[in-house]
């Protein structure tokens, strides 16, 4: 997993002795890498289960359960780092306020997450299947994540007192191997949209998956492999001195 996070770690360029908050630490792989650079790192995540894994793997590191939209730190970090987390949090203003408050003057926010157009072909296929099956009680269109446009996100940070130093939006299609007899796209949904996968009644679930696969195949299946159509938004913003 460091592979995917390596460019962002490079952008963070944590220095020995710096205090860094890893927002959305998950199982702690990138938190570990930041600590290895000599920084004092706190890893925070909303999932106690993920943090239990992180603590097992890295018992010497400081992990705390907490939500990105409810940060309670006050001028405690030279940097806040966040990889593949912010698309789970719709209240981006609350995140920006909390990150701004957590940073010292001159501190930096280095983040990457899903931007506008992220997993668009996956979502189109899911919504096609939901239309076709006319399932009751399933939120429709299915669009549970926060994928802002680059300009809108940069403006939001500026409105919360940041200077945006660099910002990028770029496609990063990524292979998703078949797993446990499931196609790559079905496996992806199983991991990241489990409630959706479980929402059709038992007898309809197979049909749902088939409809998703049929619709997504022309866009996402190449050379025997499923590809997830990620679009990343990457940003570096600083707090004025
Ligand atoms: C991602 O872009 O990394 C992502 C988006 C939605 C769900 C899970 C991951």
The CATH number that applies at residue 104 is 3.40.50.150
Residue 214 has pLDDT above 70, yes or no: yes
Out of 8, 119, 229, mutate this one to test ligand 1's pocket (max ligand atoms within 8 Å of CB): namely 119
If you average pLDDT over every residue of the chain, what do you get? 96
* 169 CA from centroid of ligand 1 (Å): 15
Residue 220 lies in a domain: no
Residue 169 lies in a domain: no
Pocket lining: 84 vs ligand 1, CB cutoff 6 Å: yes
Residue 1 has pLDDT above 60, yes or no: no
Residue 31 lies in a domain: yes
* 144 CA from centroid of ligand 1 (Å): 10
Residue 174 lies in a domain: no
Residue 184 has pLDDT above 60, yes or no: yes
| Beta-sheet strand order (sheet of 225-228) | 174-176, 225-228, 221-222
Atom of ligand 1 nearest to the CA of 191: 8
Chain segment 43-68, per-residue pLDDT in tens: 999 999 999 999 999 999 999 999 99
Chain segment 149-170, per-residue pLDDT in tens: 999 999 999 999 999 999 999 9
Residue 121 lies in a domain: no
Pocket lining: 142 vs ligand 1, CB cutoff 6 Å: no
Pocket lining: 123 vs ligand 1, CB cutoff 6 Å: no
Q: Residue 101 is part of which domain span?
A: 1-114
2 confidence band (pLDDT: 50, 70, 90): low
Residue 155 lies in a domain: no
Mean pLDDT along residues 104-131 = 97
- Single pTM value for the model: 0.95
Q: Which of 136, 132, 209 is nearest to 178 (CA)?
A: 209
Count structural domains, the chain: 1
Mean pLDDT along residues 179-183 = 95
Residue 124 lies in a domain: no
Residue 172 lies in a domain: no
pLDDT of residue 140: 81
Pocket lining: 237 vs ligand 1, CB cutoff 6 Å: no
pLDDT of residue 20: 98
Cβ-based neighbour number of residue 16 at 10 Å:
8
């Amino acid at each position: 997993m460091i592979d995917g996070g390596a460019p962002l770690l490079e952008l963070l360029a944590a220095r020995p002795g710096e205090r860094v908050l890893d927002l959305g630490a998950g199982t702690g792989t990138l938190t570990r890498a930041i600590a290895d650079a000599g920084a004092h790192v706190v890893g925070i995540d909303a999932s106690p289960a993920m943090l239990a894994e992180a603590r097992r793997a890295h018992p010497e590191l400081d992990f705390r359960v907490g939500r990105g939209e409810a940060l309670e730190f006050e001028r405690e970090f030279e940097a806040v780092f966040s990889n593949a987390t912010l698309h789970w949090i719709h209240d981006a203003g609350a995140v920006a306020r909390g990150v701004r408050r957590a940073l010292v003057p001159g501190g930096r926010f280095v983040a990457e997450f899903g931007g506008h157009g992220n997993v668009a072909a996956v979502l189109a296929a899911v919504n096609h299947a939901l239309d076709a099956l006319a399932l009751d009680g399933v939120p429709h269109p299915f669009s549970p994540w926060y994928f802002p446009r680059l300009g809108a996100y940069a403006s939001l940070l500026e409105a919360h007192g940041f200077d945006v130093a660099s910002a990028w939006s770029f496609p990063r299609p990524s292979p998703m191997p078949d797993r446990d007899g499931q196609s790559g796209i079905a496996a992806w949904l199983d991991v990241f949209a489990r409630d959706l996968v479980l929402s059709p009644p038992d007898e309809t679930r197979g049909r749902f998956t088939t409809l998703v696969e049929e619709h997504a195949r022309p866009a996402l299946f190449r050379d025997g492999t499923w590809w997830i159509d990620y679009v990343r938004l990457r940003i570096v913003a600083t707090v004025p001195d």
